[in-house]
Structure 1
Amino acid sequence: MSPARGRWRDRAIAALGLTAIWVLLWGSFTPLTMVGGALVAVVVLTVFPLPAVTYAGRIHPLGVLRFAGRFAKDLVVASVQVSSLAFRFGHVPRSAVIAVPLKVPSDLGLTLTAEAVSLVPGSLIVEADRERGVLYVHVLGVRDAAGADRFRRDVLDLERRIVQAFGSPAERRAIKEPPT
């Protein structure tokens, strides 16, 4: 595929995504909301052009199912943990900021991992070092170094599931390499 054709394809996908978000925000699927969403998408993409993001991977349905199932479980478990911390009177929850060096520091992988981590209650991305591929995460309920190591392994496991769902062959090979 030529670079120009690839750019148009990427813009069309972004416009479709923005249009879908517009329709969802309005809460009605009508021709008027579709046309309005398409117009807003074209204006947004013209005024705020997106940087080129290369996506060499493909969607792996089984990996997406594994990611979605485990992500749903993580959401439920973390919600229960955070609510139990909130209702413990007289207890001051401990927290930590933990650096997590990712194994596959591509822009898309870093972004997807950071978004998934931030969506789980009790964790929040403080900073993302794009050049080194490191996420700095504020985490509730971490008491000691062992808890920090456990959280770091959980984030790397989440990254592995994301790469298995959406990664390129090179990224999928990289997550199978032993840690350095």
Structure 2
Amino acid sequence: MTRPERSRMGRWRDQALALGWLVLIWNLLWGDFTWGNLAGGLLVGGAVLVFFPLPPVTFGGRLRPRALLVFAVRFVTELVAASAHVARIAVQPGCRPRGAIIAVRLRVRTDLNLALTAEAISLVPGTLILEVDRDTGTLYMHVLDVRGPADLVENRARVLEVERRIVRALGSAAEVRRVEADPAEKENHP
């Protein structure tokens, strides 16, 4: 098989996988797996893929189950701790938390890493991704309950640690070396 044929087959495979996920989500949203919902999911999913094509996201990494488990456990731990912190702020009488907008430049600038890191950060209460600059690999995010510059440094370090765990779980060997070398630390400090 020639290189263009392999590339074309890869795109068709990616489109088929995306269609399968869209059909599954369609059926889950309806809450009932019927032939009508399956046909409707195929029609809607096909229309989405035809009229709203997404750029291809390449995966050049390797799945590391142990690192993925470490990421999942740490993510759930941070999720619970941040939820308790935000709940305490919400019910504490007279508490007026200060927020801040910070920029964090990621070390691995692939679309997949940007998307996964941004999603993992946004899912944790108290943080919200406002914008992603694909060209520079920078996440602009709002953080809650900032008391001083030390909190800003801590939030930047937390984002870089989330990126490190994601890259360890899903990145290529070169990407893992890049996050382990940690060259972006100096760029991210105020």
TM above 0.5, one fold?
yes
Q: Give the counterpart of 2:154 among 145, 150, 155.
A: 150
Which residue number in structure 1 is paired with residue 120 of structure 2? Answer: 116
1:96-150 per-position Cα deviation (integer Å, ceiling 9, x unaligned):
1111111111111011111111111100011111111111110001111111111
Q: Which residue of 1 aligns with 2:37?
A: 33
Alignment partner, residue 66 of structure 1: 70
Percentage of matched positions with identical amino acids: 52
Secondary structure of the equivalent of 1:176?
A: helix
Instruction: Give the deviation of 1:169 after TM superposition.
Output: 2.3
Taking the TM superposition and a 5 Å limit, the aligned residue runs for 1:29-108 are 29-108=33-112
Alignment pair present for 1:11 and 2:15: yes
Q: CA deviation at 1:42?
A: 1.2
Which segments of 5 or more consecutive residues in structure 2 lack a partner in the other structure? 185-190
Tell me the amino acid that sits aligned with residue 91 of structure 2: F
Aligned length: 180
Gaps of 5+ in 1: none
- Give, as a single letter, the amino acid of the residue that structure 1 aligns with 2:111: D
Structure 1 outlier segments of 4+, above 6 Å: none
1:146 partner letter: A
Q: TM-score, normalised by structure 1?
A: 0.93
CA RMSD across the alignment? 1.5
